[in-house]
Amino acid sequence: MNPKPTSDSRTRMSEKTYRRCMAATRAFLKKNPSIRNRELRQLTSIDYDQAITFFNRAIAEKSVIRKGKSSGIHYVLPMTKGSKIGDE
* Three-class SS state of 20: helix
Measured between alpha carbons, how far is 21 from 28 in angstroms, rounded to an integer? 10
Is residue 7 situated within a structural domain?
A: no
Q: Which domain holds residue 54?
A: 14-76
* CATH number for the domain that contains residue 50: 1.10.10.10
Residue at 65: amino acid letter? I
SS3 58: helix
pLDDT in tens, 21-76: 999 999 999 999 999 999 999 999 999 999 999 999 999 999 999 999 999 999 99
User: pTM value?
Assistant: 0.78
**How many separate domains does the chain show?**
1
Q: What 3-state class would DSSP assign to 76? A: strand
In this structure, are residues 18 and 11 in contact, taking their beta carbons and an 8 Å threshold? Answer: no
DSSP state of 33: S
pLDDT tier for residue 10 given thresholds of 50, 70 and 90: low
Residues near 5 by Cβ (< 8 Å), separated by ≥ 6?
none
